[in-house]
């Protein structure tokens, strides 16, 4: 090989070394640093031009933080036949750096065919971010939806500007009569029942593509929509999850009975679902921020879950959710309410079931009930009474129809004011003048 070819080969090797993302150090038999590439300088906080040609001991042995790094280098000398690898943590310029380090003895075959010892090669990779990812997944993987974990990892440092307004669908599912359960069961059995309930309620959320946002005592909050799920199907997905949660109660009751939980047959739940604008982002102090959603839609979903306890239907959804879910479900408009904490009247709907799976009588009742409400709003009390009476003819135990029929009778005797918004209020009975 000519001298020019040797120089070109050396130049190519040098360029390759400098372009590597891994740090590379070579040390000769006297302990002098022969090569120290740019990546090594960046990772270890050293300037290559100030290090090359210096004694390894002079550069590294005087700093206690490099003790683990030095040990790997010395192992290559003492155990020359083995390549040594280890993960270590160093403090470089006041920050912790995690490295995957590999060291081996550097040899070159001589003209005689024997290996000539030249020194030690150390190759190391900065795995700080990878280690953070592993730590976050280890800490939160069992409690937080993996998509939220991945979002945190992908984003890196918390940025306040990542919060944004989105149209999302929010659901709350809550255990009925938790106070009663807590009074009947000892603490260990109560926690077991609660954990089983929360697990049973969370599974349908994941099956429908939702995010389990948080557990709040005996309730589960979930959300659907960008950036985690499809915007167009979010309402339908949330409704599918709500039906799945209610259906899961059958297996849960059987499971509780098998472990001899008294009153297992009374295990029940209510669900509230609302669709609308939320603010999505990281909430809380810097040391313990959590990704969540806040806003009036979240409050509405929580209020609908509360309202389900008195409206006589286990799954209550907002008008926007019912409209967005499409024809795959059967809904029944119940009435207009003003949710606690709000001044805006809301039309609320019961989710009866999936289209094609609901009994014809229930489909008829849903249609008649909706017509009765429309007649009420137009102050046609006679027609409204007929529609609600027809509902009761199909199902005499229908609480909603009975409630509306009673209200129609009250309004027929004492009509609401001209600015009536459809929300029930006790009629003002005129007294003697």
Task: Note the pLDDT of residue 333.
Answer: 96
> 366: alpha, beta or left, given left = phi > 0 and alpha = psi -120 to 50?
alpha
Task: Note the pLDDT of residue 41.
Answer: 92
Task: Note the pLDDT of residue 372.
Answer: 96
Among the listed residues 414, 427, 412, 418, the one whose alpha carbon sits nearest the alpha carbon of residue 376: 412
CA distance 26 to 358: 75
Q: Which residue has the tokens 């740019």?
A: 38
**204 neighbors 245 (Cβ within 8 angstroms):** yes
Whole-number Cα distances in Å, 186 to 182, 193, 219, 245, 260: 7, 11, 20, 26, 13
Task: Note the pLDDT of residue 159.
Answer: 43
Task: Note the pLDDT of residue 12.
Answer: 53
Whole-number Cα distances in Å, 219 to 95, 270, 300: 41, 10, 15
3-state DSSP call for residue 118? strand
Which tokens go with 190? 């109560």
Task: Note the pLDDT of residue 236.
Answer: 97
pLDDT tens for residues 286-298?
Answer: 555 566 788 999 9
CA distance 276 to 167: 5
- For helices 187-207 and 234-258, angle between their N-to-C axes, nearest 10 degrees: 150
pLDDT tens for residues 315-364?
Answer: 999 999 999 999 999 999 999 998 877 788 989 999 999 999 999 999 99
Whole-number Cα distances in Å, 393 to 369, 396, 402: 12, 6, 11
Task: Note the pLDDT of residue 160.
Answer: 40
Which stretches in the chain have pLDDT values below 70? 1-14, 109-113, 132-163, 282-291, 426-433
Task: Note the pLDDT of residue 361.
Answer: 95
DSSP secondary structure letters along 193-228 = HHHHHHHHHHHHHHHTT-EEEEEETTEEEEEESTTT
């Amino acid at each position: 090989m000519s001298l020019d070819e040797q120089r070109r080969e050396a130049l190519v090797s040098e360029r390759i070394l400098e372009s590597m993302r891994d740090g590379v150090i070579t040390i000769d038999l006297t302990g002098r640093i022969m090569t120290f590439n740019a990546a090594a300088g960046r990772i270890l906080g050293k300037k290559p031009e100030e290090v090359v040609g210096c004694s390894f001991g002079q550069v590294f042995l005087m700093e206690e933080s490099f003790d683990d790094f030095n040990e790997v280098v010395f192992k290559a000398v003492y155990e020359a036949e083995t390549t040594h690898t280890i993960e270590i943590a160093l403090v470089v310029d006041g920050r912790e750096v995690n490295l995957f380090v590999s060291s081996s003895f550097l040899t070159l075959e001589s003209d005689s065919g024997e290996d000539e010892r030249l020194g030690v090669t150390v190759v190391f990779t900065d795995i700080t971010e990878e280690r953070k990812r592993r730590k976050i997944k280890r800490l939160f993987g069992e409690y937080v939806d993996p998509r939220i974990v991945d979002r945190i990892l992908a984003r890196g440092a918390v940025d306040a500007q990542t919060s944004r307004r989105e149209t999302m669908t929010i659901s709350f599912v809550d255990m009925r009569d938790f106070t009663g359960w807590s009074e009947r069961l000892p603490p260990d059995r109560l926690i077991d029942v609660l954990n089983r309930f929360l697990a049973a309620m969370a599974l349908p959320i994941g099956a429908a593509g939702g995010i389990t946002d948080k557990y709040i005592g005996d309730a589960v909050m979930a959300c659907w929509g960008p950036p985690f799920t499809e915007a167009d199907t979010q309402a339908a997905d949330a409704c599918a999850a709500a039906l799945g949660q209610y259906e899961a109660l059958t297996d849960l009751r059987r499971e509780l009975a098998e472990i001899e939980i008294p009153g297992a047959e009374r295990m029940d739940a209510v669900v509230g679902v609302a669709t609308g604008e939320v603010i999505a982002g990281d909430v809380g102090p810097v040391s313990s921020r959590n990704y969540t959603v806040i806003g009036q839609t979240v409050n509405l979903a929580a209020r609908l879950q509360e309202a389900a306890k008195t409206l006589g239907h286990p799954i209550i959804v907002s008008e926007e959710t019912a409209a967005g879910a499409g024809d795959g479900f059967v809904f029944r408009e119940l009435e207009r309410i003003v949710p606690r904490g709000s001044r805006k009247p809301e039309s609320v709907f019961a989710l009866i079931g999936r289209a094609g799976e609901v009994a014809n009588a229930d489909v008829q009742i849903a249609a008649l009930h909706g017509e009765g409400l429309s007649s009420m709003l137009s102050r046609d009390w006679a027609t409204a009474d007929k529609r609600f009476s027809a509902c009761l003819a199909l199902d005499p135990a229908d609480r909603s129809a009975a409630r509306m029929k009673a209200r129609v009778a009250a309004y027929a005797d004492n009509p609401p004011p001209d600015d009536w918004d459809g929300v029930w209020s006790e009629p003002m009975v005129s007294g003697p003048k």
